[in-house]
Amino acid sequence: MSIKANDPSRKSWLPVPPESDFPIQNIPFGVFLTRDDVITIGTRIGNTAIDLGALHQLGYFNEIPLTDDIFLQDSLNDFISDGKKTWRLVRNRIAELFDRNNRELQHHEEHKKIILFDLDEIEMQLPVQIGDYTDFYSSREHATNVGKMFRDPENALLPNWLHIPVGYHGRSSSIVPSGTPIRRPYGQTHPGESGTPVFGPSKRVDFELEMAFITTDANKLGEPIPIAEAEEYIFGLILFNDWSARDIQKWEYVPLGPFLAKNFASSVSPWIVTLDALEPFRVPSPKQDPLPLPYLRQPGPGSFDIHLEVELIPEGGAANTISRSNFKYMYWTMAQQLAHHTVNGCKVNSGDMMGSGTISGPTPDSYGSLLELAWMGSKPLVLEGGERRTFVEDRDTVVMKGHCKKDGLRIGFGEVSTQLLPALPAETFPG
């Protein structure tokens, strides 16, 4: 099935600023609250948000088999459940409708008033109700850096790492959309070899630069998803900041993995960019040696060339770009992650989210966390104006951005931007 929405020559009758992440070839999906306090599913071209619920009510999707209320929802889960064929039909139709050669809506001022919103008239929501959230650990550079710092520099990568896309379950309830401030968490930490544990605000709050994919209903409990079919069940990708409290993590994570060090908050970008829209930017993932077991063998190029960057903005200060990385550095592909996740029959539902793990590149300026960028506090970053950072400070804002670019076409994700608020007062807690 051809993806007509991807036609690179198409121009929209809606304005698209130069270097916009959202040309008519993107057509991402999100959920927003409108100026009339209505929650709806929408898309975005340039800096215009488009209410798909209203478009559908006005009959613009009549040729596509869709239930009446499919876009009048507070999450994309039901639409995602409709499957890849429907996603393509809808993207193709949106591309056609907003094509500058199409007059259906372009000159219908009354409908445009109902359907189109400036970005400052809407409030982006979480795009999906996330049933289960899994986080992988699939950047070889990140796993190696962490292994060097916390375990054995000579054997930084653990024995299982090259054989399985290591992952663990995270907490869905603490995932918030871009723009939602979060709080420095309290927790238990241990001062070191001797001494007893102490309680207080984390002193080592860090970000993790990740991307995450959103799945559709994929299988029944007990049935695996073969790697060759895995991408059929991936709706799209978002930017993901997996906030981490390194001092809490160090004390709690043996033997069952990270828990309170991660589940105080995680932040996502609000627009899901479909795998279809990313197709022009497909690239091979790094060569895998040893060859994985057959159930994990990637059938073709399974990665995407997505430029990523992290900005740190002190309150009232300038934006400092502190990392430039790329999704293509990931050792394990999304198809490998999903095939592995379900090889035991684990059930995957519409709206589940799977994080890549911190995306670190091969050079020190491409590391995806402050832990690595400032090498566990030993190499503080110097910001514009002279301030230093080893971890995230109160009222800092961390912004992650991502986009693909090739042959004049740019498809992007916008951003996930989050401010860290100070910890609650100590009197909140007994003792």
Question: Interface residues for a second copy in 253-272 (CB under 8 A)?
Answer: 253-260, 263-265
Question: CB of residue 200 vs a second copy: minimum separation in angstroms?
Answer: 10
Nearer to a second copy, 105 or 182 (CB): 182
Sign of CA dihedral 284, 285, 289, 295: negative
- Residue 348 as a binder of a second copy (CB under 8 A): the answer is yes
375 in contact with a second copy (CB under 8 A): no
**Residue 142 annotated among the catalytic residues of the structure:** yes
* 226 interacts with a second copy by CB under 8 A: yes
Least distance (Å) between residue 383 CB and a second copy: 26
Q: Which of 68, 74, 37, 36 is nearest to 55 (CA)?
A: 68
Residue 208 within binding range of a second copy, rule CB under 8 A = no
- Angle among Cα 3, 9, 13 to the nearest 5 degrees reads 100
Pick from 188, 279, 301, 422 the residue near a second copy by CB under 8 A.
Answer: 188
- Of 341 and 389, the one with the shorter C-beta distance to a second copy is 341
Stretch that binds a second copy, among 46-54, 110-118, 218-226, 303-311 (CB under 8 A): 218-226
> How many residues bind to a second copy according to rule CB under 8 A?
74
- Among 56, 108, 111, 142, the one annotated catalytic: 142
Q: Is residue 408 at the binding interface for a second copy, with CB under 8 A as the rule? A: no
Nearer to a second copy, 2 or 173 (CB): 173
Q: Tell me, rounded to whole angstroms, the distance of Cα 169 from its chain centroid.
A: 16
Question: Least distance to a second copy from the beta carbon of 173, Å?
Answer: 4
Q: Which of 103, 113, 169, 388 binds a second copy (CB under 8 A)?
A: 169
Exactly one of 19, 65, 102, 295 binds a second copy (CB under 8 A); that residue is: 295
Dist. CA 158–CA 145, nearest whole Å? 12
Nearer to a second copy, 294 or 386 (CB): 294
Question: Which of 24, 122, 227, 312 touches a second copy (CB under 8 A)?
Answer: 227
Of residues 111 through 150, those in contact with a second copy by CB under 8 A are 131-132, 134, 137
The binder of a second copy chosen from 11, 85, 100, 163 (CB under 8 A): 163
Sequence-distant (≥ 6) Cβ neighbours of residue 59 within 8 angstroms: none
Provide the annotated active-site residues. Answer: 142
